[in-house]
Amino acid sequence: MKKLFAVALLIAFLGSASGYAQTIEITRNASTPSIPGGKEYFTGRVVVDPLYPATAQTGATTGLVTFAPGARTAWHTHPAGQLLIVQSGKGWVQQDGQARQVINPGDVIWIPANTRHWHGATANNGMSHIAVSYMKDGQNVIWKEQVTDKQYNPE
Amino acid sequence: MKKLFAVALLIAFLGSASGYAQTIEITRNASTPSIPGGKEYFTGRVVVDPLYPATAQTGATTGLVTFAPGARTAWHTHPAGQLLIVQSGKGWVQQDGQARQVINPGDVIWIPANTRHWHGATANNGMSHIAVSYMKDGQNVIWKEQVTDKQYNPE
Protein backbone atom coordinates (compact mmCIF):
# COMPACT_ATOMS: atom_id res chain seq x y z
CA MET A 1 0.00 0.00 0.00
CA LYS A 2 2.84 2.32 0.95
CA LYS A 3 4.62 1.35 -2.28
CA LEU A 4 1.51 2.08 -4.36
CA PHE A 5 1.25 5.53 -2.79
CA ALA A 6 4.92 6.22 -3.56
CA VAL A 7 4.36 5.22 -7.20
CA ALA A 8 1.26 7.45 -7.41
CA LEU A 9 3.28 10.37 -6.02
CA LEU A 10 6.05 9.72 -8.53
CA ILE A 11 3.55 9.70 -11.43
CA ALA A 12 1.96 12.92 -10.17
CA PHE A 13 5.38 14.54 -9.91
CA LEU A 14 6.49 13.46 -13.38
CA GLY A 15 3.12 14.56 -14.74
CA SER A 16 3.39 18.09 -13.43
CA ALA A 17 7.12 18.48 -13.95
CA SER A 18 7.44 17.32 -17.53
CA GLY A 19 4.52 15.44 -19.14
CA TYR A 20 1.58 17.75 -18.48
CA ALA A 21 3.58 20.96 -18.49
CA GLN A 22 4.87 20.18 -21.97
CA THR A 23 1.49 19.48 -23.56
CA ILE A 24 -0.39 22.11 -25.54
CA GLU A 25 -3.41 23.11 -23.48
CA ILE A 26 -6.63 24.12 -25.25
CA THR A 27 -9.32 25.89 -23.22
CA ARG A 28 -12.47 25.62 -25.29
CA ASN A 29 -14.77 28.58 -25.92
CA ALA A 30 -17.47 28.87 -23.21
CA SER A 31 -16.01 25.98 -21.16
CA THR A 32 -16.10 28.28 -18.10
CA PRO A 33 -19.30 30.11 -17.05
CA SER A 34 -19.29 33.89 -17.58
CA ILE A 35 -19.01 35.92 -14.37
CA PRO A 36 -21.28 38.96 -13.78
CA GLY A 37 -19.23 42.05 -12.89
CA GLY A 38 -19.72 42.84 -9.18
CA LYS A 39 -21.85 45.83 -8.18
CA GLU A 40 -19.01 47.23 -6.05
CA TYR A 41 -16.60 47.48 -9.00
CA PHE A 42 -18.88 48.22 -11.97
CA THR A 43 -21.87 50.35 -12.90
CA GLY A 44 -24.41 48.73 -15.24
CA ARG A 45 -24.28 45.26 -16.78
CA VAL A 46 -20.78 43.87 -17.19
CA VAL A 47 -19.74 40.27 -17.90
CA VAL A 48 -16.26 38.80 -17.45
CA ASP A 49 -15.15 35.68 -19.33
CA PRO A 50 -11.87 34.37 -17.89
CA LEU A 51 -9.58 33.26 -20.74
CA TYR A 52 -6.29 32.28 -19.08
CA PRO A 53 -4.98 32.58 -15.52
CA ALA A 54 -1.82 34.21 -14.21
CA THR A 55 0.99 31.65 -14.08
CA ALA A 56 4.75 31.87 -13.53
CA GLN A 57 5.03 32.16 -17.31
CA THR A 58 2.20 34.59 -18.17
CA GLY A 59 2.45 36.84 -15.07
CA ALA A 60 -1.03 38.17 -15.90
CA THR A 61 -4.68 37.18 -15.97
CA THR A 62 -6.30 37.33 -19.42
CA GLY A 63 -10.05 37.80 -19.79
CA LEU A 64 -12.77 39.11 -22.08
CA VAL A 65 -14.87 41.91 -20.54
CA THR A 66 -18.20 42.90 -22.08
CA PHE A 67 -19.98 46.14 -21.17
CA ALA A 68 -23.63 46.92 -21.99
CA PRO A 69 -24.33 50.52 -23.17
CA GLY A 70 -23.76 52.86 -20.21
CA ALA A 71 -21.78 50.27 -18.24
CA ARG A 72 -18.27 51.00 -16.95
CA THR A 73 -15.69 50.08 -14.36
CA ALA A 74 -15.23 52.04 -11.13
CA TRP A 75 -12.14 54.24 -10.93
CA HIS A 76 -9.15 51.96 -10.41
CA THR A 77 -5.40 51.45 -10.87
CA HIS A 78 -3.30 48.45 -11.86
CA PRO A 79 -0.15 47.85 -9.80
CA ALA A 80 1.70 46.43 -12.85
CA GLY A 81 -0.29 47.84 -15.78
CA GLN A 82 -2.94 46.43 -18.11
CA LEU A 83 -3.21 45.85 -21.87
CA LEU A 84 -6.67 46.18 -23.50
CA ILE A 85 -7.50 44.97 -27.02
CA VAL A 86 -10.92 46.21 -28.14
CA GLN A 87 -12.93 43.41 -29.79
CA SER A 88 -16.31 44.95 -30.62
CA GLY A 89 -18.60 47.95 -30.16
CA LYS A 90 -17.55 51.41 -29.05
CA GLY A 91 -16.09 52.44 -25.71
CA TRP A 92 -14.64 55.20 -23.60
CA VAL A 93 -11.49 55.29 -21.49
CA GLN A 94 -10.50 58.15 -19.22
CA GLN A 95 -7.40 58.83 -17.20
CA ASP A 96 -8.01 61.01 -14.14
CA GLY A 97 -7.39 64.66 -15.03
CA GLN A 98 -7.45 64.07 -18.80
CA ALA A 99 -10.14 64.07 -21.49
CA ARG A 100 -12.28 60.97 -22.07
CA GLN A 101 -11.20 59.11 -25.24
CA VAL A 102 -13.21 56.96 -27.68
CA ILE A 103 -11.95 53.41 -28.34
CA ASN A 104 -12.99 51.19 -31.24
CA PRO A 105 -12.36 47.58 -32.35
CA GLY A 106 -8.69 46.95 -33.13
CA ASP A 107 -7.49 49.72 -30.82
CA VAL A 108 -4.92 48.62 -28.24
CA ILE A 109 -4.69 50.49 -24.95
CA TRP A 110 -1.80 50.34 -22.49
CA ILE A 111 -2.71 51.46 -18.97
CA PRO A 112 0.55 52.19 -17.11
CA ALA A 113 1.03 51.02 -13.54
CA ASN A 114 -0.63 53.09 -10.80
CA THR A 115 -2.58 55.29 -13.24
CA ARG A 116 -6.06 56.18 -12.00
CA HIS A 117 -8.65 55.61 -14.77
CA TRP A 118 -11.89 53.94 -15.84
CA HIS A 119 -13.11 52.26 -19.04
CA GLY A 120 -16.41 51.03 -20.37
CA ALA A 121 -19.01 51.20 -23.12
CA THR A 122 -20.32 54.45 -24.58
CA ALA A 123 -23.79 55.61 -23.58
CA ASN A 124 -25.44 54.18 -26.72
CA ASN A 125 -23.29 51.17 -27.68
CA GLY A 126 -21.86 48.17 -25.91
CA MET A 127 -18.13 47.36 -25.97
CA SER A 128 -15.99 44.29 -25.34
CA HIS A 129 -12.25 44.10 -24.84
CA ILE A 130 -9.65 41.51 -23.97
CA ALA A 131 -7.82 42.58 -20.81
CA VAL A 132 -4.34 41.37 -19.88
CA SER A 133 -3.83 42.40 -16.24
CA TYR A 134 -0.30 42.04 -14.91
CA MET A 135 0.24 40.78 -11.36
CA LYS A 136 2.36 42.43 -8.67
CA ASP A 137 2.55 40.87 -5.21
CA GLY A 138 -0.53 38.77 -6.00
CA GLN A 139 -2.67 41.76 -7.08
CA ASN A 140 -3.65 43.05 -10.51
CA VAL A 141 -6.17 45.78 -9.68
CA ILE A 142 -6.87 48.28 -6.88
CA TRP A 143 -10.47 49.48 -6.90
CA LYS A 144 -11.55 53.01 -5.97
CA GLU A 145 -14.94 54.76 -5.94
CA GLN A 146 -17.61 54.47 -8.67
CA VAL A 147 -17.64 56.71 -11.75
CA THR A 148 -20.62 59.05 -11.35
CA ASP A 149 -23.06 59.64 -14.25
CA LYS A 150 -21.69 63.19 -14.52
CA GLN A 151 -18.08 61.94 -14.74
CA TYR A 152 -19.10 59.20 -17.18
CA ASN A 153 -20.96 61.41 -19.62
CA PRO A 154 -20.58 65.15 -18.96
CA GLU A 155 -22.17 66.13 -22.29
CA MET B 1 22.94 77.05 -26.70
CA LYS B 2 24.47 74.67 -24.16
CA LYS B 3 21.78 75.68 -21.67
CA LEU B 4 19.02 75.06 -24.21
CA PHE B 5 20.40 71.59 -24.86
CA ALA B 6 20.47 70.87 -21.13
CA VAL B 7 16.85 71.96 -20.80
CA ALA B 8 15.86 69.80 -23.78
CA LEU B 9 17.60 66.82 -22.18
CA LEU B 10 15.83 67.47 -18.89
CA ILE B 11 12.44 67.62 -20.62
CA ALA B 12 13.21 64.40 -22.52
CA PHE B 13 14.20 62.70 -19.26
CA LEU B 14 11.14 63.86 -17.36
CA GLY B 15 8.98 62.86 -20.31
CA SER B 16 10.21 59.30 -20.43
CA ALA B 17 10.62 58.80 -16.70
CA SER B 18 7.31 60.09 -15.42
CA GLY B 19 5.10 62.09 -17.80
CA TYR B 20 4.87 59.79 -20.80
CA ALA B 21 5.19 56.56 -18.87
CA GLN B 22 2.16 57.48 -16.78
CA THR B 23 -0.11 58.40 -19.67
CA ILE B 24 -2.59 55.95 -21.16
CA GLU B 25 -1.30 55.01 -24.59
CA ILE B 26 -3.80 54.21 -27.36
CA THR B 27 -2.52 52.48 -30.50
CA ARG B 28 -5.23 52.99 -33.09
CA ASN B 29 -6.49 50.16 -35.30
CA ALA B 30 -4.47 49.90 -38.54
CA SER B 31 -2.03 52.64 -37.48
CA THR B 32 0.83 50.24 -38.35
CA PRO B 33 1.04 48.51 -41.76
CA SER B 34 0.36 44.76 -41.78
CA ILE B 35 3.45 42.61 -42.30
CA PRO B 36 3.38 39.66 -44.75
CA GLY B 37 4.56 36.45 -43.06
CA GLY B 38 8.03 35.54 -44.39
CA LYS B 39 8.38 32.61 -46.83
CA GLU B 40 11.03 31.00 -44.60
CA TYR B 41 8.69 30.75 -41.59
CA PHE B 42 5.27 30.25 -43.16
CA THR B 43 3.58 28.27 -45.95
CA GLY B 44 0.80 30.10 -47.82
CA ARG B 45 -0.50 33.61 -47.23
CA VAL B 46 -0.06 34.87 -43.69
CA VAL B 47 -0.35 38.43 -42.37
CA VAL B 48 0.93 39.72 -39.03
CA ASP B 49 -0.50 42.86 -37.41
CA PRO B 50 1.69 43.97 -34.50
CA LEU B 51 -0.51 45.06 -31.58
CA TYR B 52 1.90 45.81 -28.73
CA PRO B 53 5.64 45.33 -28.25
CA ALA B 54 7.53 43.51 -25.54
CA THR B 55 8.41 45.91 -22.72
CA ALA B 56 9.78 45.50 -19.21
CA GLN B 57 6.16 45.35 -18.09
CA THR B 58 4.56 43.08 -20.74
CA GLY B 59 7.53 40.72 -21.27
CA ALA B 60 5.89 39.57 -24.53
CA THR B 61 5.04 40.73 -28.03
CA THR B 62 1.32 40.81 -28.84
CA GLY B 63 0.10 40.50 -32.42
CA LEU B 64 -2.79 39.42 -34.61
CA VAL B 65 -1.91 36.66 -37.09
CA THR B 66 -4.21 35.89 -40.03
CA PHE B 67 -3.84 32.70 -42.10
CA ALA B 68 -5.51 32.12 -45.50
CA PRO B 69 -6.97 28.62 -46.05
CA GLY B 70 -4.07 26.13 -46.24
CA ALA B 71 -1.60 28.56 -44.67
CA ARG B 72 0.41 27.61 -41.57
CA THR B 73 3.55 28.32 -39.60
CA ALA B 74 6.70 26.22 -39.96
CA TRP B 75 7.48 23.87 -37.08
CA HIS B 76 8.76 25.99 -34.19
CA THR B 77 9.18 26.34 -30.44
CA HIS B 78 8.83 29.27 -28.04
CA PRO B 79 11.57 29.66 -25.41
CA ALA B 80 9.09 31.09 -22.88
CA GLY B 81 5.73 29.88 -24.21
CA GLN B 82 2.92 31.49 -26.21
CA LEU B 83 -0.76 32.24 -25.61
CA LEU B 84 -3.14 32.13 -28.61
CA ILE B 85 -6.70 33.51 -28.57
CA VAL B 86 -8.63 32.48 -31.69
CA GLN B 87 -10.54 35.41 -33.18
CA SER B 88 -12.18 34.08 -36.34
CA GLY B 89 -12.37 31.16 -38.78
CA LYS B 90 -11.24 27.61 -38.13
CA GLY B 91 -7.70 26.40 -37.53
CA TRP B 92 -5.44 23.50 -36.68
CA VAL B 93 -2.69 23.20 -34.10
CA GLN B 94 -0.39 20.21 -33.77
CA GLN B 95 2.24 19.30 -31.22
CA ASP B 96 4.97 17.04 -32.60
CA GLY B 97 4.07 13.40 -31.90
CA GLN B 98 0.41 14.15 -31.10
CA ALA B 99 -2.81 14.38 -33.10
CA ARG B 100 -3.70 17.59 -34.95
CA GLN B 101 -6.47 19.50 -33.11
CA VAL B 102 -9.18 21.83 -34.42
CA ILE B 103 -9.37 25.34 -32.93
CA ASN B 104 -12.32 27.72 -33.19
CA PRO B 105 -13.09 31.33 -32.20
CA GLY B 106 -13.01 31.81 -28.43
CA ASP B 107 -10.62 28.89 -27.89
CA VAL B 108 -7.49 29.79 -25.92
CA ILE B 109 -4.31 27.79 -26.51
CA TRP B 110 -1.28 27.71 -24.25
CA ILE B 111 1.90 26.52 -25.98
CA PRO B 112 4.40 25.57 -23.24
CA ALA B 113 8.05 26.57 -23.55
CA ASN B 114 10.25 24.46 -25.86
CA THR B 115 7.33 22.47 -27.29
CA ARG B 116 7.70 21.69 -31.00
CA HIS B 117 4.48 22.47 -32.87
CA TRP B 118 2.77 24.33 -35.71
CA HIS B 119 -0.53 26.20 -36.13
CA GLY B 120 -2.50 27.63 -38.98
CA ALA B 121 -5.77 27.68 -40.88
CA THR B 122 -7.64 24.55 -41.95
CA ALA B 123 -7.49 23.51 -45.61
CA ASN B 124 -10.86 25.14 -46.44
CA ASN B 125 -11.17 28.07 -44.02
CA GLY B 126 -8.99 30.94 -42.91
CA MET B 127 -8.17 31.58 -39.25
CA SER B 128 -6.93 34.53 -37.20
CA HIS B 129 -5.61 34.51 -33.66
CA ILE B 130 -4.07 36.94 -31.23
CA ALA B 131 -0.62 35.67 -30.20
CA VAL B 132 1.13 36.69 -26.97
CA SER B 133 4.72 35.49 -27.34
CA TYR B 134 6.84 35.64 -24.19
CA MET B 135 10.47 36.74 -24.42
CA LYS B 136 13.47 34.89 -23.01
CA ASP B 137 16.95 36.31 -23.55
CA GLY B 138 15.61 38.57 -26.30
CA GLN B 139 13.93 35.74 -28.24
CA ASN B 140 10.31 34.61 -28.47
CA VAL B 141 10.43 31.98 -31.22
CA ILE B 142 12.87 29.41 -32.63
CA TRP B 143 12.00 28.41 -36.18
CA LYS B 144 12.51 24.89 -37.59
CA GLU B 145 11.68 23.29 -40.95
CA GLN B 146 8.45 23.81 -42.92
CA VAL B 147 5.34 21.70 -42.34
CA THR B 148 4.93 19.48 -45.42
CA ASP B 149 1.55 19.10 -47.16
CA LYS B 150 1.43 15.50 -45.89
CA GLN B 151 2.08 16.61 -42.28
CA TYR B 152 -0.37 19.49 -42.63
CA ASN B 153 -3.28 17.44 -43.96
CA PRO B 154 -2.71 13.68 -43.88
CA GLU B 155 -6.38 12.88 -44.70
Complex ipTM:
0.86
Which of B24, B62, B109 is opposite residue A24, by nearest beta carbon?
B109
Q: Which residues of chain A have pLDDT under 70?
A: 1-21
User: Do residues B72 and B92 touch, judged by C-beta distance below 8 A?
Assistant: yes
In this prediction, residue B64 carries a pLDDT of: 98
Distances (CA, A) of A76 to A21, A125, B63: 34, 22, 26
CB atoms within 10 A of CB A153: 14
User: Do residues B68 and B126 touch, judged by C-beta distance below 8 A?
Assistant: yes
C-alpha A48/C-alpha A41 separation (Å) is 12
Helices and strands in chain B, H and E counts: 2, 14
User: Do residues A147 and A73 touch, judged by C-beta distance below 8 A?
Assistant: yes
In this prediction, residue A21 carries a pLDDT of: 54
A27 touches chain B (CB under 8 A): yes
A135 touches chain B (CB under 8 A): no
H-only helix segments in B1-155: 2-14, 149-152
Please tell me the distance in Å from B25's CA to the nearest CA on chain A: 5
Largest CA distance in chain B: 73
In this prediction, residue B21 carries a pLDDT of: 54
Q: For residue B95, what is the nearest residue in chain A, using CA coordinates?
A: A24
User: Do residues B117 and B140 touch, judged by C-beta distance below 8 A?
Assistant: no
In this prediction, residue A43 carries a pLDDT of: 98
In this prediction, residue A155 carries a pLDDT of: 79
B102 touches chain A (CB under 8 A): no
Q: Do A108 and B62 touch (CB under 8 A)?
A: yes
Which of A29, A30, A115 is opposite residue B22, by nearest beta carbon?
A115
Q: Which residues of chain B have pLDDT under 70?
A: 1-21
Termini Cα distance of chain A: 73
C-alpha B125/C-alpha B114 separation (Å) is 28
In this prediction, residue B12 carries a pLDDT of: 40
B83 touches chain A (CB under 8 A): yes
Which of A22, A26, A104 is opposite residue B115, by nearest beta carbon?
A22
Name residue B121's beta-bridge partners: B91
C-alpha B145/C-alpha B72 separation (Å) is 12
Q: What domains appear along chain B, each with residue ranges and CATH number?
A: 33-152 (2.60.120.10)
Residues in B closer than 8 angstroms to A28, CB to CB, are 106-107
